[in-house]
Amino acid sequence: DAKTTQPPSMDCAEGRAANLPCNHSTISGNEYVYWYRQIHSQGPQYIIHGLKNNETNEMASLIITEDRKSSTLILPHATLRDTAVYYCIVRVNNNAGNMLTFGGGTRLMVKP
Amino acid sequence: GAVVSQHPSRVICKSGTSVKIECRSLDFQATTMFWYRQFPKQSLMLMATSNEGSKATYEQGVEKDKFLINHASLTLSTLTVTSAHPEDSSFYICSAIEDTEAFFGQGTRLTVV
């Protein structure tokens, strides 16, 4: 799986949009971009994933650049409960048992 | 989404004893499960891949005789930390793939005293 690079930490004001960047310049054509988050002392929680089109669900939006070398996770209205470590992962999307390889992630602190 | 349940969520054991952690896929069958370990303020590190009906595959540096993995059914994998030492104190997390998506258990906080 391709390596990803994320800033180690970010702050965001409550109610504002949180934009979390991720670089994955060596991503392969068949690799998807996944985002997970981990709230303290819990297992990772799936947020969203995409291949090349922008995606949106009830939790977040995912913007992938046209060359697919970077992406941004957007939490439109951050709340205090969104404080967590956010992991950007690229992987092949199949059911052959691909494990997830976690990088350092971004520690997002949402402040009142 | 699918649910992966881990038990126990917290355990404290004495040095030299063994601890078993269970990982269950509650509403789907998982031929493959993964075990991760996470030390404070660090990322998740894959320890091993658990395969139903066959031997687990361990990552480099992970002692297979110390971390025993059993995947006897399509819904249950167990990790046994044998002869635990204080340095084994960590957060252990399991994961299972269902229809290409990865789902995680809530984690087990192991403290060896």
* pLDDT tens digits, one per residue of B59-113: 999 999 999 999 989 999 999 999 999 999 999 999 998 877 889 999 999 999 9
pLDDT band at A100; cut points 50, 70, 90: confident
Mean pLDDT of the region B37-61: 93
**CA nearest A95 in B: which residue?**
B100
Strand order from edge to edge, sheet including B4-7 = B4-7, B19-25, B76-81, B67-73
pLDDT for B54 equals: 87
Mean pLDDT of the region B34-47: 94
Mark which residues 13-52 of A lie under 8 Å from B by CB: 38, 41-46
pLDDT at A78 over 90: yes
Mean pLDDT of the region A85-105: 83
Smallest Cβ distance to B93: which of A43, A46, A98?
A43
pLDDT at A1 over 80: no
pLDDT for B102 equals: 87
Token readout for A26 is: 């060596």
The string of pLDDT tens digits covering residues B9-39 is 999 999 999 999 999 999 999 888 999 999 9
Token readout for B26 is: 């509650």
pLDDT at B7 over 80: yes
**CA nearest A105 in B: which residue?**
B43
pLDDT at A2 over 80: no
CB atoms within 10 A of CB A108: 21
Give the rounded distance of the alpha carbon of B12 from its chain centre.
Answer: 16
Mean pLDDT of the region B32-52: 93
Token readout for A48 is: 């969203």
Does the beta carbon of A94 lie under 8 angstroms from any beta carbon of chain B?
yes
**String of b and e for A64-99 (b: at least 16 CB within 10 Å)?**
beeebebbbbbbeebeeebbbbbbbbbbeeeeebbb
Does the beta carbon of A98 lie under 8 angstroms from any beta carbon of chain B?
yes
Smallest Cβ distance to A41: which of B1, B105, B109?
B109
B75: left (phi over 0), alpha (psi -120 to 50) or beta: alpha
Contacts of A103 in chain B (CB under 8 A): 43
Mean pLDDT of the region A35-47: 94
Contact between chains at A97 and B32 (C-beta distance less than 8 A) = yes
The residue that leads in pLDDT, A23 or B99, is: A23
pLDDT band at A96; cut points 50, 70, 90: low
Does the beta carbon of B97 lie under 8 angstroms from any beta carbon of chain A?
yes
